[in-house]
Amino acid sequence: MVWKHSSSARMEFSKLDPGTILVDMGTHSLETTLKLADEAIKRRVMFLEAPVWGTKEHAANGLVTILAGGDPSLLGRCRETFSYFGLNIIHIGKIGDATRMKFIVNLVQAELMQSLAEGIVFGEKLGFTADKILEVLDSGGVASPLFHSKGRSIARGDFSRNLALKYVHEQLLLVMDAARKVNLDLPGAETACKLYEQAVQDGRGEEDYSAVVKVLRK
């Protein structure tokens, strides 16, 4: 059974027979993930956390990355099912580790988009087209699939939703909360979080997360 967490966790668990495999593919706070795992143990349900990394387009083409936390043998039993929609299936470690790793992924992804948006807007102010800026970025050490695909979408003015901006903001809030709990300051993440928050307040939450560039273009 694959499940995304809801407020009715206990009711959902009551429907599962002992020995059922429960795979949680949502991205939550670490505390929520660990509580789900504890509840599963109490009810003799086998639990695997498997947050997904990717966009709507990746999911449609079976190209998402699945980060798994839990018993490796349990992951082995789920690999065939995961392979229908996941290109990369990575065992991270114990329960909770996949959620922790997803925080890192979300942090870097959000900051990369902010960096790209700032570079494009700065370049435009200096008189360059977005296409020319991207041609140069693609040629050197900072080249990346994200810069290539999202940069071209920004240049076309295409902000149709692939990964909703509001979800990126929500994930950044989880990142900031996790960082505070380990007494770590993440100045870049704080700046990015404010940028995405402003975009949501501007009504951009349902657009693709590349729409953060519109905040900078004001």
Tens of pLDDT, residue by residue over 12-48, are: 677 788 899 999 998 888 999 999 999 999 989 999 9
The reply to whether 71 and 142 lie within a common domain is no
Work out the mean pLDDT of the chain and round it to a whole number. Answer: 91
| For range 163-192, the mean pLDDT | 96
Domain holding 114, by residue range, is: 100-216
Tens of pLDDT, residue by residue over 113-167, are: 999 999 999 999 999 999 999 999 999 899 999 999 999 999 999 999 999 999 9
The reply to whether 118 and 193 lie within a common domain is yes
Q: What pLDDT does residue 6 have? A: 44
Is residue 62 a contact partner of residue 84, using CB atoms and an 8 Å limit? Answer: yes
Q: Name the amino acid, one letter, at 187.
A: P
The reply to whether 14 and 76 lie within a common domain is yes
**And the tokens for 52?**
């997904």
CATH number of the domain bearing residue 38 = 3.40.50.720
Q: For the chain, first and last CA: distance in Å?
A: 46
The confidence band for 57, taking pLDDT boundaries of 50, 70 and 90, is confident
Domain boundary residue, one of 64, 95, 126: 95
The total number of structural domains in the chain stands at 2
The reply to whether 109 and 207 lie within a common domain is yes
Beta bridge partners of 67: 90
**And the tokens for 75?**
């992951």
Which of 150, 171, 170, 172 has its CA nearest to residue 161? 150
The reply to whether 212 and 104 lie within a common domain is yes
Per DSSP, the three-state class of 34 is helix
Which of 107, 104, 106, 80 has its CA nearest to residue 93? 104
Which of 146, 153, 154, 149 has its CA nearest to residue 123? 154
The reply to whether 91 and 104 lie within a common domain is no
Domain boundary residue, one of 55, 74, 95: 95
Task: From residue 184, give the alpha-carbon distance in Å to each of 167, 180, 188.
Answer: 23, 6, 12
The reply to whether 211 and 150 lie within a common domain is yes
The reply to whether 207 and 172 lie within a common domain is yes
Segment holding 136, helix H or strand E: helix 130-139
β-pairing, 52-53 vs 64-69, is antiparallel
Rounded CA separation 182/199 (Å): 28
The reply to whether 91 and 112 lie within a common domain is no
The reply to whether 177 and 104 lie within a common domain is yes
Is residue 25 a contact partner of residue 4, using CB atoms and an 8 Å limit? Answer: yes
Rounded CA separation 168/205 (Å): 9
**And the tokens for 58?**
């990746």
